Amino acid sequence: MEQMKRLTIVVELVAQPSVLFLDEPTSGLDAASAKLIMDGVRKVANTGRTVTCTIHQPSAEVFQVFDRLLLLKRGGTVVFAGELGENLRKMIDYFEAIDGVDNMPEAYNPATWMLEVIGAGVNSTIGDEVDFAGIFRSSPHFELLQSKLEEASRPSPIMRSLSFTDKRAATELTQMRFLVKRFANMYWRTASFNLTQFVLALGFGLLGGATYLGTEFNTYAGGGNGYGVFGAGISRDHVLQQHDTGGS
C-alpha cells in the first residue's frame, strides 16, 4: 500500500505541477508509513510547490508537517482556517481561548483533540453547544482569510486587461474550411466505404428508374406512384445507414 501511494504521488510529480492535490494520502497506512509518505510530501512543498491535502485524523507527527489548516465541521461549515504555527501552537491557542473549551491534555494528539472540540470526534463533549462557525467569522483569522482571498482575486496593476477584437478565434469561413478538409480526408481514407456508397447509389438509382419508367403523375394512381418514388429514396438512405453501421 505504501509503495502504491508513493508511486501515485511520483507519477503526478513527473509533470512538474505547480499545485498538487492529494486526497487522503495516508489512508490505509500505519503510523510509520504515513509519516514516511508525508515527509516526502513535505520535501515537495519545500521546493516551492503548493500541496493541498485532505486528511482524516492524522497522527501528531503527521499533523505537524502541515503549514496551514482548513477545518470543516459537519455540513461543510468552516470553523478554522489559518496557520498552525510551530508545534501546532496557533491552532491550539485559538480553540483553548473559546469559552467552554477545555485545554488540551498533556501528550494528547492535537488532531484528535481538535475534532473532539468541534463535535466530530468519538469522545466529543461540547457538540453543537458552541457556535464555532460564528466565532471563526468574528475572529482575526477570518479577516486575514478574507484579505488573502481578495488579494488573490484582485488583478495585478501591471497586468494588462484582456481584450478581444473578434468574437471568435476563427471566422466562420475558416471553421468551414477546416471542417470540410477534415471530412474530406476522413472519407478518402475509407475507400471501401466510398465504393460501397457509390455502388449502392447506382444500383438503387437504376432499380428505381426502371420501376417507375414511363409513369404518369397527373392522375390519382400516378400520384401514388410518386409517393412510391419518394419512399424508395427514403429506404435507400435507410439501407445505406444500416450498411454503414454494420460495416463499422
User: Rounded to whole angstroms, how far apart are CA atoms 60 and 134?
Assistant: 27
pLDDT, average across residues 204-217: 72
- Bigger pLDDT: 199 or 222? 199
For residue 38, is pLDDT > 50? yes
Q: Cβ(115)–Cβ(162) under 8 Å?
A: no
Confirm whether 146 is domain-assigned. Answer: yes
pLDDT, average across residues 69-91: 88
- From 126, 153, 180, give the residue that closes a domain: 153
Confirm whether 193 is domain-assigned. Answer: yes
Q: Cβ(89)–Cβ(60) under 8 Å?
A: no
For residue 71, is pLDDT > 80? yes
109 and 180 within one domain = no
81 and 33 within one domain = yes
- Bigger pLDDT: 162 or 78? 78
pLDDT, average across residues 162-169: 74
pLDDT, average across residues 221-242: 62
SS3 79: strand
Specify which residues 51 forms β-bridges with.
Answer: 20
Q: Strand (E) positions, 34-101?
A: 50-54, 68-72, 78-83
Q: pLDDT band for position 245 (50/70/90)? A: very low
pLDDT, average across residues 57-63: 86
Q: pLDDT band for position 2 (50/70/90)? A: low
Tally of domains in the chain = 2
Determine the pLDDT at residue 176: 93
Determine the pLDDT at residue 239: 54
For residue 78, is pLDDT > 50? yes
41 and 128 within one domain = yes
Confirm whether 130 is domain-assigned. Answer: yes
For residue 115, is pLDDT > 60? yes
pLDDT, average across residues 221-228: 66
Nearest alpha-carbon partner for 38 in 20, 72, 62, 22: 62
pLDDT more than 90, % of the chain: 15
For residue 125, is pLDDT > 50? yes
- From 86, 119, 153, give the residue that closes a domain: 153
Query: 29: domain range?
Result: 2-153
User: Rounded to whole angstroms, how far apart are CA atoms 182 and 176?
Assistant: 10
